């Protein structure tokens, strides 16, 4: 999608962090943007920033864990703009600092419902409409570099992001017939409010857990989300499958690939023994 000007984007989790960075970067390229977030006031604030860039914007409150609410988001976006060219399934949450065996069931359910369920709901709500729409379309799903190599003490987050990577790779393979491409964003440490994501935790997923202040300090030292937004914008233009923000994270990913290759080498030896 070489020319973004005049086209329409929908960004979930757009009320702050990476979502805000994506929304503003797309607006700078002339795209109209639907800013969707569970925090409607935050979405309205970002939508105002988008409009200040001379394009149309719309704020919409949505809980991405609820299919009916995501369907309403799709209905409103198409009713307002008649088309959607870029869908960014970006909403995400996590807990930190717990071994997998210590993570409560409600934490697993919450993180998977937002990070994975939100992507699934976005695809299910928007994809039939995108398939019926002529021209180029693109989907960007936000995963994490933790979706490509194991990371301790955030097991539910890792599980959700591995799944998002796989869904994105599959959608990339399947979407060509309808002129739908797909990218997966795999950022490293970005200066976002993810440590405070539990402020919007839905009652159905239980009480929040305490976050270590050291983790909050680490996040504060991360990459500017506005820069991440510009990286995502360029990746859409260049039709990149994997969107990386931190080249230095290549090493742990390659270490994982080396372990996978070693597993195949072991399998080869078993075949020879037979």
- The residues assigned a catalytic role are 157
Pairs from 24-28 (Cβ < 8 Å, separation ≥ 24): 24/49, 24/50, 24/53, 24/226, 24/229, 25/226, 25/229, 25/230, 25/232, 25/233, 26/86, 26/229, 26/233, 27/53, 27/55, 27/57, 28/53, 28/233
Rg (CA), the chain: 19
Whose tokens are 């209905």? That residue is 75
Tell me the sheet residues that pair with 57.
Answer: 33
């Amino acid at each position: 999608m070489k020319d973004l000007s005049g086209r329409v984007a929908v960004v979930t989790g757009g009320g702050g962090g990476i979502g805000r960075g994506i929304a503003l970067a797309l607006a700078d390229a002339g795209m109209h943007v639907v800013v969707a977030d569970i925090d409607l006031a935050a979405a309205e604030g970002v939508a105002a920033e988008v409009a200040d860039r001379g394009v149309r914007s719309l704020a919409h409150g949505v809980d991405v864990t609820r299919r009916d609410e995501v369907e309403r988001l799709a209905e409103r976006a198409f009713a307002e703009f008649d088309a959607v060219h870029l869908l960014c399934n970006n909403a995400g949450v996590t807990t930190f600092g717990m071994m997998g065996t210590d993570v409560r069931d409600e934490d697993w359910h919450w993180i998977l419902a937002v990070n994975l369920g939100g992507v699934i709901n976005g695809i299910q709500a928007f994809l039939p409409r995108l398939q019926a729409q002529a021209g180029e379309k693109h989907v960007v799903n936000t995963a994490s570099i933790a979706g490509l190599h194991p990371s301790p003490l955030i097991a539910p987050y890792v599980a959700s992001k591995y799944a998002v990577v796989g869904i994105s790779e599959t959608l990339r393979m399947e979407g060509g017939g309808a002129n739908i491409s797909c990218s997966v964003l795999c950022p490293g440490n970005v200066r976002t409010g993810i440590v405070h994501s539990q402020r919007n935790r839905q009652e159905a997923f239980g009480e929040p857990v305490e976050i270590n202040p050291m983790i909050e300090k680490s996040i504060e030292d991360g990459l500017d989300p506005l820069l991440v937004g510009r990286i995502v914008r360029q990746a859409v233009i260049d039709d990149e499958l994997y969107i990386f923000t931190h080249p230095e994270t290549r090493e742990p990913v390659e270490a994982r690939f080396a372990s996978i290759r070693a597993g195949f080498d072991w399998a080869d030896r078993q075949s020879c023994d037979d």
